Every structure is written in C-alpha cells, then in structure tokens.
Structure 1
C-alpha cells in the first residue's frame, strides 16, 4: 500500500478523457468477472472527473455487497483493479473505486471531521489533528478545510500520516 500512496502523490501528466474512459472500461470488465466469480450482482457506473477514472458498484438487490463495501475491502478491491488496469495499459492507474456508496459515506464523514475541527479552532484551539488516513482521504480533507478558509497540512509517515488543520 505504501508504494501506491507514493505513486498517487507523484506529478504526472493529466490523463485524457478517452484514456480515463478506457481505464474505466478495463476496470469494469475486471470487476464484472470478479462479481461473477463471487456470485454477486451489481450495476457498474463509470465516470471520468478530476483527472481520474471513477468506477462505482451499486447493489441490484438488498444485501448483496455489504462485505465488499467495508473500507478495507474497497481499498483492496481498488488496488487489485488498479493493477488489472496497469497490466492492460502499461501505465499506473489512479482509478477510484466505490462499492455500495461507501466512498460517499466516507466523504460525508470526513466533512463532519473537518467541521468538528473547525469548531475546536473557533473555540480557541491552535490546531486540530485528524486521525491517520489514506492520501486520497487527506486530499479531500485539504479541500474541505480550504473551502472553510482553513489551512491544512499532512504530517507523519506511513500509516501514521494524518492531517492537521489550523487557522489561515
């Protein structure tokens, strides 16, 4: 996982929409095969935005994807899918996976964490440290903090890397 986090933060030329759509198609084929093997049903949505391909698996029946929608399972599935895309394209993929709306739920949770940190700072705290999280989640936190007029920075190494929010 450390390797992928380092790769995610490197500067690369932005992918074209057609390249991102191809990544999404390759990822969708891989995930469809995996769902078939696991005897799970799900609809796939493919999107390209912010220089990344996004692939979402949406349950077609109640209770079909709950195990795959856990954060650790989504992260593992995303990593496997990125490797499948890289195997076909020869290039590192920054694809983002979502299963059963788990990413949206996590984004809402991160937004609440930033709101709570902002309240602590408004009440006089010099800074507010958030728990360790992935590079993608830290990027979201930086965006949420900036939207509130706050400054954020990532600190720590490896699994302990976290975000600290301060007043601008």
Structure 2
C-alpha cells in the first residue's frame, strides 16, 4: 500500500533527513516531490520553509491462504528483535556500570518494533542528566549498537522515573506560553536547543494556535525552534518625535533671548571711515556757527 507524508523544513536535505528519521526508512526506500522550495529574503533569511511530500510503500495484510508463510516470517522477525533486545540490554548494563550504577532494574515493554526500557534504581538522576541529555545519549547509543544486526529497524526508548511523560507535559506548557507571548508582543521567540523529538512537540503545539508559526534553525546538536508572529510589530526608527534629522535654524543668543538673524544682514564686519563722514564738505554745514552769550 502506498502512503505519503508531507514535511516542512529549512532545506530539501533537511526534509529528507526528517522523513528517514520519522519513518525509520533509508533514503533509497523513499520517493518525494518538492511542492515548494525554500524562499529566502535579499539577505539570505528564510521567509518560507520548503514543503516536500514523501511516498513510501507499506506491505498489505497477507491473505488467508498465505498464513503459514506469514507465521514463519513473523517468527524469524521476532527472533531477530529478541536478539536486538538482548544486545541492547547487555550494552546498556555495561555503560551504566561504568557510570557507577550497578543495581539498576530494567523493565522492558515491547510493542511491535518499538521497545521501551524503563530504568529503576538508586541515583537515577545520573542516568537522566540535565534535562534528559544523558538519557537521550544512552537511547541513541543503544539504538545504534542494537540495529547493527541484520533485520528490521527496532526503535528503542529509554526512560526513568516517568521522565519522558513529565518532560513532554512541560514542553507543551512552555510552547503554549511562548506562542501566546509572541502573539501578544509581535516579536519572535527562540527556544533553547532541543532534540528532534522535543522540537516536534513544540511544532505540534504551536501549529494549533492561530497567528503564530514555528520553524527550526541551526545545526545539530544546537538546533533550535523559533516561534514567529504572523503579524510582527513594526518598530519606530525615526528618532525623537520623528524630527531627529531635521536641521535646526541658525540662532544667536541675544540678551538671554533667541534672536533670529535676518537674511539681509551681512555676516562680514563693517568699517568706519571717520574722514569721509565728518571732514567732507557739505552745503548744509557751516564751518563756524553763531555764538551767543547771556547778558
């Protein structure tokens, strides 16, 4: 049966990697169509993520006449899965022992190709680590070692003290809070680096809130989620009152008052010609005038 999966990512290569991780299939097992390529701004910032639809084949349920063959195949697959579980638990015990955790009980819960290993014991905080980082590292290493064996891929989930469920609940509350803050302020919010599973939780919650959307940026292991407002708030860059760049009029301080210099007055210093003004001859001016005395 042919099925499809549509993903959004910052590049086509990233979308392919996400599809392989989510479907637990190799790249050669997938076919895809690029619905929309990445759109970038003039300065290289991503304006719109790429949209890629992946197609893959899933085996149909075997009809009744082939029951005997199906049982045989299932038996082989089950033996392979059991063998991978043994490899995983043995490796995990050795690593925990090297960490100083010797008395650790492992509760194994299997559901088809998903195997959950729950660790119980003293001082489990060492196995969990800061925000589950050690737990994630153990889970990655166990999956890597166990799936070296031939057979279908088995997904291992390692948990302790119900940490996974509590972490998921915390992330859902965080995503809702950040999305509402972004919606209110109109400013983007960048979260701390997270693994792919935790980023999917954030994307899932944000996608349910109108007015905001999210995307992942950066490279592993420092890849982050950014929550973006669909209606960003514009900032005022015009300075004080919008007249910051206006050239002021030329003024002079005159008797503690602002005195505007008239345009018709020259700024050059004037000269005073004494002889020209007082020694020139004039018809209206006499050399001597009449002198009168009082009696």
TM-score exceeds 0.5 = yes
Q: Secondary structure at the match of 2:185?
A: coil
1:31-110 pair list within 5 angstroms: 31-33=88-90, 34-35=92-93, 38=97, 39-48=102-111, 53-59=114-120, 61=121, 63-70=122-129, 71-89=132-150, 94-110=155-171
Aligned length: 159
The 3 A distance-change label for structure 1 pair 116 and 157 is: same
- Which of 215, 219, 231 is the equivalent residue of 1:157? 219
- Higher relative CO (Cα under 8 Å, sequence separation at least 6) belongs to 1
Is there any run of 5+ residues in structure 1 with no aligned partner, and where? none
- Which moves more between the two structures, 37-46 or 75-84? 37-46
Matched, 1:29 2:86: yes
User: How far off is 1:146 after superposition?
Assistant: 1.9
Is contact 2:77–2:152 with CA below 8 Å preserved after alignment? no
RMSD (CA atoms): 3.7
How far residue 102 of structure 1 moved from its aligned partner, in angstroms, is 2.1
Counterpart secondary structure, 1:88 = coil
Point out the structure with max Rg over C-alpha: 2
* Unpaired stretches in structure 2, ≥5 consecutive residues: 1-13, 26-55, 60-73, 231-295
Q: Secondary structure at the match of 1:159?
A: coil
TM-score, length-normalised on structure 1?
0.70
> How far is 1:153 from its partner?
0.8
Structure with the larger helix share: 1
Answer with 156-165 or 37-46: which moved more: 37-46
Give me the TM-score of the superposition, normalised by structure 2: 0.44
